[in-house]
A and B are shown apart, each in its own frame.
Chain A
Amino acid sequence: MKRTEKKPWGMIFLFIGPVTLFYVAFIIYPLIQTVLNGFLEIYPGITGLRIQFVGLKNFKLLLEDEIFHKAVINTLIWATVGPALEMLVATFLALIVYFKVPWSSFYRVAWFSPMLVTGVIVGLIFKWVFNADWGLVNTLLRTIGLGALAINWLGNLHTPLWVVIVVHFWNTFGYSFVILLAGLSAVPEEVKESASLDGATRWTLCTKILLPIIFPVFSTTLMLSFLGKMRAFHVVWVLTEGGPMHASETVATYIQKRAFQWGTLDLGYPSAIAVVWFIVVIVGVHFIQQWVRKKVEQYA
């Protein structure tokens, strides 16, 4: 007779219970509550929350909300340009370090170090760097005779978003760089040696061998970069607060304003924004996954 093995439920619960509880309490519950809030108008009162079901009213208001539309466009621009720039630069730099150019040990540290600075500090520093009067950028431009290019980077309708994109890129590219470098480092040396013996150039080695091998790492990094841009907040909030005139408004900053700054205690409308954006992010991730799947099939 086969002896049935008893599962050690106690131990299982002991180890995964706290994490599960944490996950439910701080991820699942807020997510469900936010979705529900999107269908409500909510006012905290002294005896408790005053709640009124308003159906799709909050979602319909989004269709007419020009600031929300602006925020969506800005965020989508950022989520398209940002990851593309980041992956391009991070891949190039990872390859440089992988091929052990002179001073590669220094570059490994130097290119990762911006990641160690918190977004708030980065925003503050670059607010000074882009100061129209005495900031580093404009001072340098004036010094080299390009004073005509010394514009008000954070004070017009066209450049603030791009400043935010560049600053955030500076802060976060190190993360993608180090992950891609780790992926490259995991490629067996024999692969590189074989390619070399077969007469492959460095370009061929990179484009035909190394990058296809690390494509799963690349795609994961791309996904993380995309997700990061879709919900980035600290840098843009400190740099511009979404201004001027919503020129650098993102969905995250707009949610912040509607939830905590527009003088309303109603969390329903900002929750509706969050729900819609959650769906947009899911759709975006789905499209990236589709693209990744096609590429994997291509390389297989």
Chain B
Amino acid sequence: MKRFVVGLMALLLVAHGLLFAGGGAEKKAVGKQEPVKILWWSHWANEPAKRQVIEAIKADYMKSHPNVEIELVWWDKNPLQDAWRVAMTAKKGAPDLVTDPAEKVVEQLKAGWFLELGDKFPWQNFYPEVRSIGNKFEGVKGEYLFHISMPLQMILYNRDIFKEIGVTVPPDYQFTAEEFLEIVKKANAKGYAGLANAIGNRPFPATYLVEYLLLSKVGPEEFELYRTGKKSWNTPEAREVLEFSAQLRDAGIWPPSFASMGIDEFHVYFHTQRKAAMLLIPTWYTGRAFKPVKEGGQDPNFRFGMLRYPKMKNGKGHEYILAGFESGYMIGSLTKHPEVARDILAFASQPKYGALWTAITNSPSAIKYTEKDLPPDMDKTWSWYHEEMNKVYGPVKKFIWNQWGLSGAWTDAVKSVLNEGIPLKLITVDEAIKKLDAAIGK
């Protein structure tokens, strides 16, 4: 019996060794062009248009670099971030290229989880803000983020509802704050919500209202101070904005299912159910809406209009709208092929891919391009959307602010107060100001 047990354990040990030994050794490549395998983790798993662009980049790169094999894995955002964090903490299984971790990017940069793109990266292909704002983080040197998308933050409106409630859009596409309030009241009187925005599964859709009003009131520099938690909200201007947002709430700006509707649902609420007069949304609206109706997209014949932000009284930012950066890509610091990873992103920086991004996703690109870069067989279905965007937002100034690197306590306070507290009438404006200031130690 004893011999049997000892023998069995020896067998198990040998089997263990055979199974797990030599897992980390890579075979040395032979020859001039070493075969390279790149693992690329991207979110946008449920956005077919964006996937199409990235898949095209991957295919083109592999065609022009036969020794490089790119494995592109599609994720939803939160699972990707969790998996990335686990892989980097374990120092195993991490991809070479990965979607940036959004609000966690600064501390992960400080933890050394990413590699720089460097000065030789083709920055000239991008709009200057990509480098000057999109890659500037407090306490971090160098540039790390490849941005392909530069969304604008829009106000969309349902033309039929506006007609029904007797609202005419002014020539400058901009209502005063009082007029905006009247629109909400009129919409509500006819059974419509002022906005379709809801907070069921996102911490930000209701914050857009305060952000738009705040930018209009105080202008870009002050806006950034307020929004990044560097300035007390106990000022007449901030109080005015919060009180006006409360007035809009009382007038019925939010939909009845505000607390429970998710982001996909409120898109449908606006473009298909058509129960709201307006929607505050960045240009990544197209990722969910500009796809076949049976997949949750909108009818291409639903030609909504666009508005500029309401003019707050004595405001300093009437001529601005907000812009920013959607998720981009970064090089993981555990990559065994940093030059190849960098080369892939440089390849993706060509103007033709900026044009392809806009042509397919209908969203503004961070990469500069000209008309000749646009694909010749571009789908014209949504050309009305681009015409409207150019007409309404073309002439206005875009203010891009860096929203990453904010503390957890501040982000939580913004979510609690601006996304939940005031819209749901859970707190007064005084309490809101106290909570916001408490989060920044004021």
Residues facing A in B85-112 (CB within 8 A) are: 85, 88-89, 103-104, 106-108, 110-112
Known: A14-B8, A244-B426, A263-B411. A154 touches B259 (CB 8 A): yes
Choice from B259, B409, B427 contacting A152 with Cβ under 8 Å: B259
A125 an interface residue at 8 Å Cβ cutoff? no
CB-defined contacts of A245 to chain B, threshold 8 Å: 416-417, 420-421, 424, 426-427
Tell whether, in the assembled complex, residue B260 and residue A127 are in contact, meaning their CB atoms are under 8 Å apart: yes
Contact with B along A29-58 (1 / 0, CB 8 A): 000000000000001111100000000000
B1 & A11 in contact (Cβ 8 Å cutoff): yes
A3-26 to B contact mask, C-beta < 8 Å, 1/0: 000001011001000000000000
Which among B34-42, B236-244, B250-258 touches the partner chain? B250-258
Known: A132-B260, A261-B408, A263-B407. A244 touches B111 (CB 8 A): no
Q: Does A243 contact B (CB under 8 A)?
A: yes
B113 cross-chain contacts in A, Cβ below 8 A: 44, 46
In the complex, the answer to whether B257 meets A133 with C-beta atoms within 8 Å is yes
Cβ contacts under 8 Å, B412 to chain A: 67, 257, 262
A134-B104 Cα distance, complex, nearest whole Å: 36
A191 interface residue per 8 A CB criterion: no
B333 lies within 8 A of chain A by Cβ: yes
What is the CA–CA distance of A155 and B257 in the complex, to the nearest angstrom? 9
Taking CB atoms, residues of chain A closer than 8 Å to B411 are 262-263
Residues of B within 8 A of A135 (CB): 260
- B257 / chain A contacts, CB cutoff of 8 Å: 131-134
Whether, in the assembled complex, B389 has its beta carbon less than 8 Å from a beta carbon of chain A, the answer is no
In the assembled complex, which residues on chain B have CB atoms less than 8 Å from the CB atom of A168? Answer: none
Q: Can you list 5 residue pairs at the A/B interface with Cβ under 8 Å?
A: A10-B6, A127-B260, A155-B424, A156-B426, A263-B106
Q: Which residues on B sit within 8 Å (CB–CB) of A156?
A: 424, 426
What's the minimum C-beta distance from A50 to chain B, rounded to whole angstroms?
8
A44 and B420 contacting across the interface, CB-CB below 8 Å:
no
Give every chain B residue within 8 A of A258 (Cβ-Cβ): 408
- With A152-B424, A245-B426 known as contacts, the answer to whether A133 contacts B111 (CB < 8 A) is no
Q: Inside 8 A of B2's CB, which chain A residues have their CB? A: 8, 10
Q: Is the beta-carbon distance between B406 and A260 smaller than 8 angstroms?
A: no
Q: Which residues of B contact A44 (CB under 8 A)?
A: 88-89, 111, 113
Taking CB atoms and an 8 Å cut-off, the chain B residues in 374-414 that contact chain A are 406-409, 411-412
Q: Does A263 lie within 8 Å of B420, measured CB to CB?
A: no
Give the interface of B toward A (CB within 8 A).
Answer: 1-2, 5-6, 8-9, 82, 85, 88-89, 103-104, 106-108, 110-113, 200, 255-261, 333-334, 406-409, 411-412, 416-417, 420-421, 424, 426-427
Interface size on A, residues (CB 8 A): 35
Check A133–B427 contact: CB distance below 8 A.
no
Task: Judge if A264 is at the interface, Cβ distance under 8 Å.
Answer: yes
Is A109 interfacial (CB-CB < 8 Å)? Answer: no
Asked if residues B420 and A243 are in contact (CB atoms below 8 Å), the reply is: yes
Asked if A133 meets B256 with Cβ closer than 8 Å, knowing A10-B6, A46-B111, A245-B426, the reply is yes
How far apart sit A60 and B417, CA to CA, in the bound complex (Å)? 26
Shortest CB-to-CB span from A130 to chain B, Å, is 8
CB-based contact B112/A45 at 8 Å: yes
On chain B, the residues within 8 Å of A260 by CB distance are 82, 85
| Residue in A closest to B107 when the chains form the complex, CB atoms | A265
| Residues of the A chain whose Cβ atoms lie less than 8 Å from the Cβ of B6 | 10
B-chain residues with CB within 8 Å of residue A67 when the two chains form the complex: 412
B139 CB to closest chain A CB, in angstroms?
13
Q: Which residues of B contact A247 (CB under 8 A)?
A: 426
Residue of B nearest to A66 (CB): B438
Cα of A264 to Cα of B106 in the assembled complex, Å: 10
Residue A229 CB within 8 A of the other chain: no
- In chain A, residues 220-275, which have Cβ atoms closer than 8 Å to a Cβ of chain B? 243-247, 257-258, 260-265
Contact A265–B256 (Cβ < 8 Å): no
Do A132 and B259 form a contact, CB below 8 Å, given A246-B416, A263-B107? Answer: yes
Q: How far is the CA of A130 from the CA of B257 in the complex (A)?
A: 10
Residues 124-150 of A, flagged 1 when their CB comes within 8 A of B and 0 if not, give 000100111111000000000000000
Minimum CB–CB distance from B137 to chain A (whole Å) comes to 12
- Residues of chain B within 8 A of A157, CB atoms compared: 426
Q: In the docked arrangement, what's the CA distance between A49 and B273, Å?
A: 51
Q: Which residues of A contact B408 (CB under 8 A)?
A: 258, 261-264
For A8, the chain B residues whose CB sits under 8 A away are 1-2, 5
| Inter-chain contact B260/A155, CB cutoff 8 Å | yes
Are the C-beta atoms of A244 and B108 separated by less than 8 Å? no
The answer for the CA separation of A244 and B409 in the assembled complex, in Å, is 16
List the B side residues contacting A10 at CB < 8 Å: 1-2, 5-6, 9
Closest-by-CB residue of B relative to A44 is B89
Bound CA–CA A130/B89 (angstroms): 39
Closest to B417 in A: A245
Chain B's nearest CB lies how many Å from the CB of A161?
14
How far is it, in angstroms, between the C-alpha of A62 and the C-alpha of B426 when the chains are bound?
25
Expressed in whole angstroms, the minimum distance between the Cβ of A220 and any Cβ of chain B is 35
